[in-house]
Structure 1
């Protein structure tokens, strides 16, 4: 072996030692430590509920000019009414429905009240569905002719259905979600009704019942 070969080999070894030395210089010495607690509170998962909400608290009816020579007519719209079912399990043999019942229209200046049979509505679905819910029937006022002689439907809002579950409970479990309906409102009064402001409350109630 000649000396030049030995020299090249030594240089290679020295070069290798230099690389190892650079790696060793990057190792830090730990001089202290502390910890951070990570906390979480996991609440019990809600069982869900059947609930009702209304999009607005009031509506003002406006008069339809020249609607009829026999009465005065005022129209408006019931705000959107939504039923939500977030339950994971629905009891067997139950269904739900929403009704609306109007109180007297009370005059702000002591006028004689307008009874709720003078207020009717035409319910309609807002959200599209697959037949799991259906709107209630049109309800006419007492100043209209009934379209059902055997069971008069010109009774006004005395507790009439706005929206109802159309499935039995086993099917309703798969249809859980939200359903929205509203209704066109119509108030008809005699021509000699006293002038002034009147206020009525339409109470919307959600019921769950058994078959």
Structure 2
């Protein structure tokens, strides 16, 4: 018996950790190792500030807005009782310092002009300026000579802006000192004059610093509303990402005074089905150290959504012999992955999530069996044309349920879907009935992948 194939297309909207605004959950936090925090570049006639992240191998050039620099609690020290360091405050005053000489336990930031060519700028020099600081304490950047004498380069206590003329081919480090814990924004700019007299400037660029172990926690992934029956996926996001992954999820129904812990929910993601009874319920997540997110509120519409209807995509083989049907609910035809995070090795952006249910119903009399496969043949693309291939999206298939007489089995783990992979199959004689399929998706792309929101099409084919 000849069987016809049917293809169902579902758009997967991927919200990568690289996507703007990059200072959200997807931001990179640098807390240990060498980095050229102020990496000055001149590309296509434009002066730029970048971050050369040497904490990973190979080193990665990052956009400034993608980075938070963390001054760990171990940087705490006190102002020495020496007259030469009186510019830091009274002796014994606590300060948090990233020293000029590298301490492997701390971040080692510096500035760099080694990528600039001689003969491009007047006097072969760039003016680096600290033009503003917003934070809970004073900020000072100083270096010391070989004899230990300090030279202040930038200091908020006596007013800004402060300037430093930096020759090309310079790679320098200094001591960065912060007067209190908390969040800081340091605004830098670089200016120069080309040899033909043209002035070029980066304009003001904001750098984010976190001093100490302050941490925020947020819940992301909640849509404006859900039709009843749709799967809701909430994601806990730490900024910056800390070592604790011991989450606790809580909910508060309308009319109740307190949040109640949801038993057994200890992961970074909490998934559940929206029902009308859950409408206007608040959710929040907490860490074991007491850090608590702001609550988010679930809004649920009628079962059919806002005037919408459910529709199956069906492949018929014969009017008298039943049909093979593959379908998804309308609300499940778009999959939004949580913001990507840096891998433990620091060399990949990674995220994952559920494919959401795919239903296969076989009512054919001949019970010929069936298979369902998926392919991302066109890759993923942003609105401005950045892209990566479907080989970066893989899955781990699973069977959610199947009929009593079915013998369907999930397909193998696939590291990439560019050339297609099996989601599930049922052998001849054991396919008749209804099976629900799912998969855990895994996206992994190199760190040099351009920031953006990437959209791709996954084609599911049942034969």
TM-score with structure 2 setting the length = 0.29
Q: Deviations over 1:135-178 (max 9, x none)?
A: 000011xxxxxxxxxxxxxx44421000101x32xx33xx6210
Partner of residue 163 from structure 1, selected from 397, 418, 424? 424
Residue 17 of structure 1 corresponds to which residue in structure 2? none
Distance 2:392 2:340 in 1: 15
Distance 1:98 1:156 in 2: 13
Higher-strand-fraction structure: 2
Structure 1, gaps ≥5 residues long: 1-44, 141-154
- Work out whether residues 397 and 437 of structure 2, in 8 Å CA contact, stay in contact via their aligned partners in 1: yes
Q: CA RMSD in A?
A: 2.0
- Work out whether residues 126 and 181 of structure 1, in 8 Å CA contact, stay in contact via their aligned partners in 2: yes
Q: Deviations over 1:22-52 (max 9, x none)?
A: xxxxxxxxxxxxxxxxxxxxxxx96421111
Distance 1:95 1:129 in 2: 13
Residue 326 of structure 2 corresponds to which residue in structure 1? 52
Structure 2, gaps ≥5 residues long: 1-318
Q: Deviations over 1:71-115 (max 9, x none)?
A: 00021211211110122x216xx331000001310111222x110
Q: Give every structure 1 segment of 4 or more consecutive aligned residues whose post-TM-superposition deviation is greater than 4 Å.
A: 128-131
Q: 1:109 to 1:197 in 2, by over 3 A?
A: same
Q: 1:134 to 1:117 in 2, by over 3 A?
A: same
1:132 aligns with 2:376: no
Residue 16 of structure 1 corresponds to which residue in structure 2? none
- Work out whether residues 352 and 443 of structure 2, in 8 Å CA contact, stay in contact via their aligned partners in 1: yes
- Work out whether residues 101 and 204 of structure 1, in 8 Å CA contact, stay in contact via their aligned partners in 2: yes
Larger radius of gyration: 1
Higher-helix-fraction structure: 1
Secondary structure at the counterpart of residue 137 of structure 1: coil
Secondary structure at the counterpart of residue 335 of structure 2: coil
Distance 1:67 1:128 in 2: 35
Secondary structure at the counterpart of residue 158 of structure 1: coil
Distance 1:64 1:119 in 2: 13
Distance 2:337 2:383 in 1: 15
Residue 77 of structure 1 corresponds to which residue in structure 2? 354
- Work out whether residues 139 and 157 of structure 1, in 8 Å CA contact, stay in contact via their aligned partners in 2: no
